């Protein structure tokens, strides 16, 4: 790496999307950012914002058949702004990798052996790891000389105590097949719990925080003194909270029933629980904005949306209670990600009536908007309730740069 190479490109490849950011690590400035959506569909769309030049957001509709085509389109957009992947200022590419198993507890420079290991973990994250792998392969082909770094969603959760990570099933079977609770969104939980401590003017080691990462995928974590002690996702990102399209917690016997009685195949059950459940399964919409709009419009349709909202909130409140008990003392609850940062009614409903647990939300503070971390609890509340915007891309860039510039 040359002394002038201070930029990091971050790729966050999801099952049907890629989010990316190019950052200058001297000051953390974002030079470009964008999103490719609906990869694999004829209506795929790339939205690119060249922040360095102050240019307008550019949107291209296209037919991006797969993640490779999507990344090549991203590379072309960057090149159009003079920020191409061939730039000598680029120090590394950082990749979000969802499943790192127990093998990866730290950001890791990707070589053939690491890539093989990430491939071996595909059965544990079938929606996510294949997209991450394509991202890595494509980026490597474009810049074979550049360090590529994997930052794992699971890494932050590897501190979970054994009693939280174990499922109560036969130990030998579990060990043979690596069945345990891994947890995900760890980069976000780590970043947000640290930011929450800073908001309280404390060191992370001094505070216990419940982080609610509510995006399309959603998870909760209990963080004691900066270390994760429990999290709601498990072997895969299907366990836990109600999500946009995933069921979250469910009696495993439901799957036996779907196969034995409803005659569904393994793949159909997988698809049902991962893609046709959660909010979309309950009311036909997975976007919280649309659900709130339908509730406000009322009528029968509004009732359906209300039920989805209520199921979502009920699960969230159960985890607040559970993690209060896990932590013993809670200093803060932090809401983050698309729903957590933007949906005031979700925050209000999640905390309503929890004064006995020291939790309350001030309606005025809750309705305000800001890109900065902020408190929404009244002065008297024992537990600080906060909205703390996550920034997985910045966190990945920092971890990547720290590794390659060490």
Ligand X SMILES: CC(=O)OP(=O)(O)O
> Please, what is the Cα angle at 1 between 185 and 4, to 5 degrees?
100
> 66: Cβ–Cβ under 8 A, 6 or more apart, which residues?
39, 40, 134
The answer to whether 175 is annotated as binding is: no
Catalytic residues: 153
Phi, psi angles (nearest 5°) of residue 21: -145, 140
The answer to whether 19 is annotated as binding is: yes
DSSP secondary structure code for residue 11 in this structure: E
Closest residue to ligand ADP using C-beta atoms: 338
Q: Which is nearer to Mg ion, 215 or 226 (CB)?
A: 215
The answer to whether 214 is annotated as binding is: yes
Q: Which of Mg ion, ligand ADP, ligand X, none sits in contact with 153, Cβ below 5 to 8 A by type?
A: ligand X
Residue 204 token pair: 């992370």
Q: What SS3 state is found at 220?
A: strand
User: Angle of helix 129-142 relative to helix 112-120, nearest 10 degrees?
Assistant: 160
Name which of 278, 207, 275 is nearest 240 in CA terms. Answer: 278
Q: Which of Mg ion, ligand ADP, ligand X, none sits in contact with 237, Cβ below 5 to 8 A by type?
A: ligand X
The answer to whether 254 is annotated as binding is: no
The answer to whether 302 is annotated as binding is: no
The answer to whether 289 is annotated as binding is: yes
Closest residue to ligand X using C-beta atoms: 217
By residue count, the chain amounts to 406
CB of 6 to ligand ADP, least distance (A): 27
Q: Which is nearer to ligand X, 147 or 237 (CB)?
A: 237
The answer to whether 132 is annotated as binding is: no
Residue 164 token pair: 């939280």
The answer to whether 217 is annotated as binding is: yes
Q: Which is nearer to ligand ADP, 244 or 358 (CB)?
A: 244
Q: Which is nearer to Mg ion, 286 or 324 (CB)?
A: 286
CB of 286 to ligand X, least distance (A): 11
Cα–Cα distance for residue pair 204/224, rounded to 1 Å: 8
CB of 141 to ligand ADP, least distance (A): 26
CB of 292 to Mg ion, least distance (A): 20
CA distances from 248 to 165, 258, 339 (A): 17, 16, 16
Q: Which of ligand X, Mg ion, ligand ADP, none sits in contact with 320, Cβ below 5 to 8 A by type?
A: none
Cα–Cα distance for residue pair 43/45, rounded to 1 Å: 6
Cα–Cα distance for residue pair 105/101, rounded to 1 Å: 9
Name which of 252, 250, 259, 255 is nearest 282 in CA terms. Answer: 250
Q: Which is nearer to ligand ADP, 143 or 246 (CB)?
A: 246
Q: In the window 177-216, what residues touch Mg ion (CB under 5 A)? A: 215
Residue 115 token pair: 């890539």
The answer to whether 12 is annotated as binding is: yes
Radius of gyration of the chain (CA): 21
Scan for tokens 């053939």, then name that residue: 112
CB of 159 to Mg ion, least distance (A): 22
DSSP secondary structure code for residue 97 in this structure: E
> 3: Cβ–Cβ under 8 A, 6 or more apart, which residues?
none
Q: Which residues bind ligand ADP (CB under 6 A)?
A: 215-217, 244, 286-289, 337-339, 342-343
Residues linked to residue 208 through DSSP beta bridges, in sequence order: 224
Q: Which residues bind ligand X (CB under 6 A)?
A: 14, 98, 128, 153, 184-185, 215-217, 237
> Residues in contact with Mg ion, total (CB under 5 A)?
1
DSSP secondary structure code for residue 135 in this structure: H
Q: Which is nearer to ligand ADP, 147 or 340 (CB)?
A: 340
CB of 154 to ligand X, least distance (A): 9
CB of 344 to ligand ADP, least distance (A): 8
Closest residue to Mg ion using C-beta atoms: 215
Q: Which is nearer to Mg ion, 17 or 400 (CB)?
A: 17
The β-bridge relationship of strands 218-224 and 227-231 is antiparallel
Chain residues binding Mg ion by CB under 5 A are: 215
Q: Which residues are annotated as a binding site for substrate?
A: 96
Q: Which residues are annotated as a binding site for Mg(2+)?
A: 12, 392
Q: Which residues are annotated as a binding site for ATP?
A: 19, 213-217, 287-289, 338-342
Q: Which residues are annotated as a binding site?
A: 12, 19, 96, 213-217, 287-289, 338-342, 392
């Amino acid at each position: 790496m040359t002394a002038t190479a201070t930029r990091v490109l971050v790729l966050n490849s999801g099952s049907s999307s890629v989010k990316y950011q190019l950052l200058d690590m001297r000051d953390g400035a974002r030079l470009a950012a964008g999103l490719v959506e609906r990869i694999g569909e004829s209506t795929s769309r790339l939205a690119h914002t060249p922040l360095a030049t102050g240019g307008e957001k550019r949107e291209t509709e296209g037919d991006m058949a797969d993640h490779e085509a999507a990344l090549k389109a991203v590379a072309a957009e960057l090149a159009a702004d003079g920020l191409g992947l061939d730039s000598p200022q680029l120090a590394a590419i950082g990749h979000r990798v969802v499943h790192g198993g127990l093998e990866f507890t730290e950001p890791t420079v990707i070589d053939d052996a690491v890539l093989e290991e990430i491939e071996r973990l595909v059965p544990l994250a079938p929606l996510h790891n294949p997209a991450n792998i394509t991202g890595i392969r494509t980026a490597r082909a474009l810049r074979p000389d550049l360090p590529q770094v994997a930052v794992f969603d699971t890494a932050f959760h590897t501190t979970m105590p054994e009693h939280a990570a174990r499922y109560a099933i036969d130990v030998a079977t579990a060990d043979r097949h690596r069945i345990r609770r891994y947890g995900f969104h760890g980069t976000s939980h780590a970043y947000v719990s640290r930011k929450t401590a800073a908001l309280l003017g404390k060191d992370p080691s001094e505070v216990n925080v419940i982080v609610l990462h509510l995006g399309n995928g959603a998870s909760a974590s209990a963080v004691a003194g900066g270390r994760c002690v429990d999290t709601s996702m498990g072997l895969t990102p299907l366990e836990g909270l109600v999500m946009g399209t995933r069921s979250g917690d469910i009696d495993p016997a439901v799957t036996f029933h779907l196969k034995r009685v409803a005659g569904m195949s393994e793949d159909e059950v997988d698809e049902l629980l991962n893609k046709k459940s959660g909010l979309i399964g309950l009311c036909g919409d997975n976007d919280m904005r649309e659900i709130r709009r339908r509730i406000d419009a009322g009528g029968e349709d509004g009732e359906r949306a209300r039920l989805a909202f209520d199921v979502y909130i009920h699960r969230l409140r159960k985890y607040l209670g559970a993690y209060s008990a896990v932590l013993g003392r809670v200093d803060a609850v932090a809401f983050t990600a698309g729903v957590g940062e933007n949906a005031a009614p979700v925050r209000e409903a999640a905390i309503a009536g929890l004064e006995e647990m020291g939790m309350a939300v001030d309606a005025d503070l809750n309705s305000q908007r800001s890109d900065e971390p902020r408190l929404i609890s009244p002065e008297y509340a024992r537990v600080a309730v906060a909205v703390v915007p996550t920034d997985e891309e910045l966190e990945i860039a920092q971890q990547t740069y720290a590794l390659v510039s060490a």
